[in-house]
Amino acid sequence: MVLAENSAGFILYRAGSPREYLLLDYGHHWDYPKGHIEKGETPLDAAVRELKEETGIADARVVEGFARKIGYFFRHKKRGLVRKSVIFFLAETKARKAKLSDEHVDFAFLPYEEAMKRLTYASAREVLRLAEEYSEKWSGLGTEKKS
């Protein structure tokens, strides 16, 4: 039997030249802030909550129109095979630091090329590529709103 899990998270960046993306060190891989969607939450609500819980960052400005879903399987020690679906949103922050939860051992704000090298999984690199293309296309057009 395969258990299904749904999560949501952010590709979070700091504007500037170059734009810098937030990555979290989970101890055995580098990825984005994300977590389970709780009962009654929208995916965006879950992403905002998880960002604050995992990093202490609460000023995310959501970039309208960007949402990308990835899916993968993993084996959990107690629950067996899990089919995970994660939807990522794009947001901007002015934060320079993160106050990490106990789920993480480090964080880094990195320019695109460095972030691509640091990310562990190909699916995470693909989402970053799409986010970078989208943010280049829409930067400065007033398409953002405060969440």
6: Cβ contacts below 8 Å, ≥ 6 apart: 36, 37, 43, 84, 85, 86, 87
Among residues 121, 79, 100, 95, the alpha carbon closest in space to that of 33 is found at 100
Q: How far is residue 143's CA from residue 82's CA, in Å, rounded to a whole number?
A: 36
Domain extents for the chain?
3-146
Among residues 59, 54, 16, 57, the alpha carbon closest in space to that of 32 is found at 54
Strand pairing category for 80-93 and 3-14: parallel
Tell me the CB-side half-sphere exposure of residue 101, using CA atoms within 13 A: 15
What is the pTM (predicted TM-score) of this model?
A: 0.89
- CATH number for 3-146 (one of 3.40.630.30, 3.90.79.10, 3.30.2350.10, 3.30.300.30): it is 3.90.79.10
Q: Which helix (H) or strand (E) holds 107?
A: strand 106-111
Q: Which helix (H) or strand (E) holds 89?
A: strand 80-93
Query: What pLDDT is recorded for position 16?
Result: 86
pLDDT digits (tens, 9 = 90+) for 17-75: 899 999 999 999 999 999 999 999 999 999 999 999 999 999 999 999 999 999 999 88
